[in-house]
Amino acid sequence: MNSPEWQKIEVLADRKYPVYLGTSLEELGAYLPALPEKVEHILIISHQKVLDLYGGRLMKGLGDYRVNLLVVPAGEAEKSLERLSQLTTAALGYGADRKTLVIALGGGVIGDLAGFFASVFMRGVRLIQVPTTLLAQVDSSIGGKVAVNHPAGKNILGAFHPPQAVWTDFTTLESLPWLEVENGLAESIKHALIADPGLFNFFETQVDSIKQRDPLIWRTMVTRSSSVKVKIVSQDEREQGIRGLLNLGHSFGHALETEMNYRGVTHGQGVSIGIVAAAHLAGAKGFISLAEVERIKQLLRNYGLPIAIPGQNPQALLQRMQADKKNQGGRKILILPQGIGNAVISQDCTDNEILAAWQQVISG
């Protein structure tokens, strides 16, 4: 698998938009005149840490524009209505108007928060996603979903606000802590499992190069994994059907995260366990062979992702799944692998089958 220096792929959604892969931060400024409407004012929303690392490179290309920075503290807690309100005050203070362009420079938290701000400020202004975490590059920057949290739940208030473009510079990943890499790897492996057997095989054969962050191998990994996301959201932007496949591992993982009160388990680790549980369930239903279940577990294990959660209570975990907002009319909607590189939406898993899957990951 080879990729050119940089490439453009298109999200064929309601309004289509380009995802630029392997570009450089410095060049974004030179791209802006290509937008259909002139840019006069730019708001960059980011974390201080990310600005320290990459703000200078981005600003280099933006010399011709009036630019203001809005700095948001790091952390999931910042995806809030309170922060939205503060961003609004600051934006108005800088004279932001309907022609303002918002640039979200950071990971999924910045992408979701700045994206939601852009979707509602003056009934919607333009947005460019500049993802700087692996998770954001392969997943959250693509597809238009933006949101803030609410005390009662994650991503409860949000919108579909597709960006003008996604601008992905692979070199920003060099500074990413390994724990953050893990979060992105879990989603990338999920993409391979649901839609790209070749990528799955690539993950199996390139373990060392990926762990050593070989730039060429990462380039391929990110390109291929983000392409899966592009392909799926192009077919189903509003999650009426096939986009649901991206939730593989997430119903289980989310139950685990909430049961553990978001302590002691990262999102990536939750997804990893969730993928294993879904694999066991798929195995029990005959959707995949036991050898394939083992292949999935082995792959996750090779990347240091967890595949077992000794000590958890299966009944409690099942209970947590009752509250999943994707359930419909009391029925649990689960995504199950069907072979490697393919997945299905299943509505007919019984509580006993789900319990058995939890048992498997608990006993490891």
Residues that bind ligand NAD (CB under 6 A): 47, 49-50, 53, 74, 76, 79, 106-110, 112, 132-133, 135-136, 139-140, 143, 145, 155, 172, 175-176, 180, 183
187 is catalytic: yes
Binds 295, which of a second copy, ligand NAD, none (CB < 5 to 8 A, cut-off by type)? none
Characterize 112-127 residue by residue with b for buried, 16 or more Cβ atoms within 10 angstroms of its Cβ, and e for exposed. Answer: bbbbbbbbbbeeebbb
User: What would the x/- binding string for a second copy be over residues 302 to 331, using CB under 8 A?
Assistant: -----------------------x--xx--
- Smallest distance from the beta carbon of 73 to a second copy, in angstroms? 19
40 is catalytic: no
Under rule CB under 8 A, which residues in 100-129 are in contact with a second copy? 119-124
What amino acid is encoded at 57 in this protein? Answer: R
Q: Which is nearer to ligand NAD, 176 or 221 (CB)?
A: 176
- Joined together, the tokens standing for residue 296 give 């999935």
Find out whether 244 and 345 touch, Cβ atoms under 8 Å: yes
60 is catalytic: no
Q: What is the distance between the alpha carbons of residues 350 and 11, in angstroms, rounded to a whole number?
A: 36
DSSP state of 342: -
Binds 92, which of ligand NAD, a second copy, none (CB < 5 to 8 A, cut-off by type)? a second copy
Under rule CB under 8 A, which residues in 142-161 are in contact with a second copy? 145, 147, 150-153, 155-160
Instruction: Please identify which residue in 10, 35, 66, 85 interacts with a second copy, judged by CB under 8 A.
Output: 85
Question: What Å distances lie between residue 104 and 166, 196, 214, 356, CA to CA?
Answer: 10, 29, 26, 42
Question: What Å distances lie between residue 174 and 26, 219, 254, 319, 337, CA to CA?
Answer: 17, 12, 28, 40, 32
Q: Which is nearer to ligand NAD, 22 or 339 (CB)?
A: 22
Q: What is the distance between the alpha carbons of residues 149 and 317, in angstroms, rounded to a whole number?
A: 22
Find out whether 343 and 194 touch, Cβ atoms under 8 Å: yes
Give ∠ CA 155-133-118 in degrees, rounded to 5: 45
211 is catalytic: no
Q: Which is nearer to a second copy, 112 or 292 (CB)?
A: 112
The yes or no reply on residue 35 touching a second copy (CB under 8 A) is: no
Q: Which is nearer to a second copy, 213 or 325 (CB)?
A: 325
229 is catalytic: yes
Q: Sign of torsion, CA 199 297 176 247?
A: positive
Q: What is the distance between the alpha carbons of residues 278 and 249, in angstroms, rounded to a whole number?
A: 6
Q: Which is nearer to a second copy, 146 or 199 (CB)?
A: 146
List 243, 280, 320, 332, catalytic entry: 243
List 2, 5, 123, 263, catalytic entry: 123
Q: What is the distance between the alpha carbons of residues 1 and 202, in angstroms, rounded to a whole number?
A: 9
Q: Which is nearer to a second copy, 123 or 263 (CB)?
A: 123
Q: What is the distance between the alpha carbons of residues 82 and 289, in angstroms, rounded to a whole number?
A: 49
Look-up: residue for tokens 């703000």? 55
239 is catalytic: yes
> Which chain residues interact with a second copy by CB under 8 A?
40, 81, 84-85, 88-89, 92, 97-99, 119-124, 145, 147, 150-153, 155-160, 325, 328-329
Write out the catalytic residue numbers.
Answer: 123, 145, 187, 229, 239, 243, 247, 250, 254, 267
